[in-house]
Amino acid sequence: MATIAAEAGVGVGTVYRHFPTRAKLLAALTMRSYHLVLDHARTALDSDESAPAALEHFFRQTIAAGDDLILPLHGGPVSVDEKTVALRTEISDLLEQVLARGRADGTIRGDVSAVDIIITGAMLAQPLPHAANWEQLARRQAAIYVAGLAKTTDPPLPGSGPTRAQLEAGFANVKGASAGRR
């Protein structure tokens, strides 16, 4: 907590006054992170751009916010409380609407799920160790990924698309396993 206080330019007492434990601080940072991603998803949905362009913009925003994201897919704390699950659901639903727009106009293949977008965003937002100019590399990878979302006559993607229910079940398993170790 002392390092966090120093980085924030405040005293340790100030940090503890607002966040009495490390867990409470991480929970607050996680909620802030979900709200950032939710804003990115809303921007993508509200965009007048094509669905692929809106998704590429979503990825650019997520990559730019990478250092500010403390989320379970980045190794952050897992929460299965009602408020957190509702935020994750809203993010997924908004991205699903962007995908549906692209499916309707023929620019997005039908076998991609919102969870695919969420997982890719999480991977792109975390720099690879020893990779120079990560933001540029991640934007390039996002553009390659979005190009692969195009409707195609190629064979379907392998396996069934990940679902939000599967993601939530994974979070619940992690949460349950960590509770059992206490």
User: Within a 13 Å sphere around the CA of 90, how many CA atoms are in the beta-carbon half?
Assistant: 15
> Please, which pLDDT band fits residue 99 given cuts at 50, 70 and 90?
very high
Separation CA 95–CA 117 (nearest Å): 8
Taking phi over 0 as left and psi of -120 to 50 as alpha, with beta for the rest, 133 belongs to left
Q: Which of 4-8, 43-47, 145-149, 150-154 has the lowest mean pLDDT?
A: 4-8
Domain boundaries of the chain, sorted by first residue: 22-180
Separation CA 137–CA 171 (nearest Å): 29
Fold of 22-180: Tetracycline Repressor; domain 2 (1.10.357)
Separation CA 145–CA 59 (nearest Å): 10
Burial class from Cβ neighbours inside 10 Å (0-12, 13-18, 19+) for residue 41 reads buried
> Please, which pLDDT band fits residue 180 given cuts at 50, 70 and 90?
low
Q: Which helix (H) or strand (E) holds 150?
A: none
Top mean-pLDDT range of 99-103, 126-130, 153-157: 99-103
